Every structure is written in structure tokens, then in C-alpha cells.
A and B are shown apart, each in its own frame.
Chain A
């Protein structure tokens, strides 16, 4: 199994809603990532979990809350989002944890989030 699975594929939420994005991999990878991608822009790193511990938080607003329940699962909890948070949210994993060396990332298909 060489897949990273993200659910849901699409999500529409109001600014007062609470929702969660889910990501799962069964490749035994030790690092998992959340990226945010706006249309026609490159992915921007949000969080990195390495060996199930939060290793990198790229100054992401607290309305985004990551969680790594176990080595295969990664969640992103969303609360009180703004319309400008609408984007494609991508999960990725890599075989080794941080410090990052010569690892390639395996990406999920993403969750297209719209905040109304």
C-alpha cells in the first residue's frame, strides 16, 4: 500500500463551524505533513509531525489545530475559519522523520476546503 488517503475530498463550512480533515497512511512512514495550497500557488508547509510529535509549526493561526493520534493517522481540526482559509489542504508522508534528509514525499489527493 503506497497511498496516502485524505477525507473528505471536498468540504464547505461556515465561519462558526468546527470540522476535521483526516489523513491516513499505512506505509510505516515516520513523518507526516500538512500543506496548504492556494490556486496557482505552490504548497506551503503548515505542520510536520515526526515520530508522532509535532516538530514544525510554521506560525499557523490557532484556528488550525493538528493532531497525530498514532503513527498512521493525522488530523487537522478546523474552527472559526475565515474565507481566506479556503484552499486545497494536502497531507503528505515521508519514510524518515525530522531531521529531513534525502526523502521524497508521498501526497494524498487533498481536501478542497471552501469557507463561506
Chain B
């Protein structure tokens, strides 16, 4: 079953702007991950944040996690046309990793 819901479903921005995507989930988690998927391709892991962490950075990516609100956000700074893709949050339980509904990001040159 689908655990995470992402917001917005679609986001269109100009190159150089920042993009923020949000993920809400329902049950307890061990970790939360973000993945990117270019059209018709496999998913690529971006970043993993553990349930006892609040913020994590990787290059132009910043992820926050608020376990009390059961939500996470992904910020991409100084976006590029190459960032155009679908972005999925994924919540990890003891059993498996379950993907959210995804945000389609379009970065216009």
C-alpha cells in the first residue's frame, strides 16, 4: 500500500530558482529516502535521513524530517534544466520501502 503522499503533484520553475517538495506519511518509520526518476528510467537514490535526524544536506539538496508531523521536505537549490524529473519520497519500515505518489518537477531554461 502507498505510504507517502507528496505535494505538489507537479511543480514548474525557472532555472536558478529553488524547488521545494513535501512528503507526508502515516505510520512510524525507520528512515525516509528521496529518489529521482527521469522519464522512463530507473530510480536514483538521492538522500536518506534517519528517524532520529532532523536535517541533512547533500550538494544542492536539503532534506528535513519532522517525525511529530510525519512529514519531510526536499529542497533543491539553484535548480538546473537537468533536475527535471519525478521525485519520490520513500518510507522505510522493518519490512520494506514504500514509495509516495511523487512530484513531477519541470525546470525551464
User: Does chain B have a CB within 8 A of A26?
Assistant: no
A41 CA / B96 CA spacing, docked (Å): 18
A64: chain B residues within 8 A (beta carbon): none
Select which of A45, A92, A102, A105 is within 8 A of B50 by beta carbon: A102
The secondary structure that dominates the A interface is loop
B-to-A contact residues, CB < 8 Å? 2, 30-31, 33, 35, 40-45, 48, 50, 88, 90, 92-102, 104
Further pairs besides A45-B98, A88-B40, A108-B42: 19, Cβ < 8 Å: A4-B42, A40-B104, A41-B102, A42-B2, A42-B88, A42-B101, A42-B102, A44-B2, A45-B96, A48-B96, A92-B42, A99-B94, A101-B94, A104-B45, A105-B35, A105-B45, A106-B45, A110-B42, A112-B40
